Amino acid sequence: MGAKVHNPWGDGRDADVLDEKCCARPCLNIGEDKGTYVQGRGYTSYHKNPKLCCMTRELRGCPHPLPEPDPEKIRCCNVPDFPKPKKGSRPYRQKCRTCGEWASGWLLEQRRELPALENVECRHRKMHSRDDDMFGCVMWICDLCQLRWLRTKPKPRDPGKTFRQLLVEQFKCPSDT
């Protein structure tokens, strides 16, 4: 019996794993099962539609004893906010009110109990990006709070930095230490 990690690569395919808690275990390694592989010869046959699976489990089997799940590995955002269930009911699936990511079952219960991390009030709904020559990478700028991020687009309520903070951090003088 197995479970699935839903859409880990964002391409619509689910990955086969041991159980639903695998998404939070450090041994999880999602990979593509392309077909039958023989060491020394390579692939001897290919699947028509390659499937995703836990490659740790596929190649060596699950570790024994199974590592404990790490709730921080399944965090959807800095401030997960899932509605409390109504008395006497248990929702199957809910959407995070902060970032909009869906969760169900064990994952939903774990995310509901996660504490809030450092955050800001702005949800960064109006953003733009640009290639920045000074920093040599893409810079994301929130038009509402004027905070900035280098390289990656922030999730709602992620703390950013001001332009001045980025300059000080990026171009420290030896005399400043």
Question: What digits encode the pLDDT tens for the residues 122-166?
Answer: 988 899 999 988 888 899 999 999 999 999 899 889 999 998 898
Q: Quote the Cα angle for 124-128-132, to 5°.
A: 125
Q: Sort strands 30-38 and 42-54 into parallel, antiparallel or unpaired.
A: antiparallel
Q: How far apart are CA 175 and CA 104, in angstroms?
A: 52
Structure tokens at 41: 């010869």
Q: How far apart are CA 101 and CA 62, in angstroms?
A: 28
Structure tokens at 13: 């395919």
Q: How far apart are CA 155 and CA 101, in angstroms?
A: 11
Q: How far apart are CA 61 and CA 64, in angstroms?
A: 9
pTM for this entry: 0.70
Q: How far apart are CA 64 and CA 76, in angstroms?
A: 28
Amino acid found at 159? P
Instruction: Provide the residue ranges of all domains of the chain, joining segments of one domain with +.
Output: 3-60, 75-113, 127-176
Residue 11 clears pLDDT 90, i.e. is over it: no
Furthest C-alpha separation in the chain? 63
pLDDT tens readout for residues 36-68: 888 899 889 999 999 999 999 988 999 999 999
Residue 176: pLDDT band with limits 50, 70, 90: low
Structure tokens at 14: 């689910």
- Who's near 2: CB < 8 A, 6+ residues apart? 16, 17, 18, 19
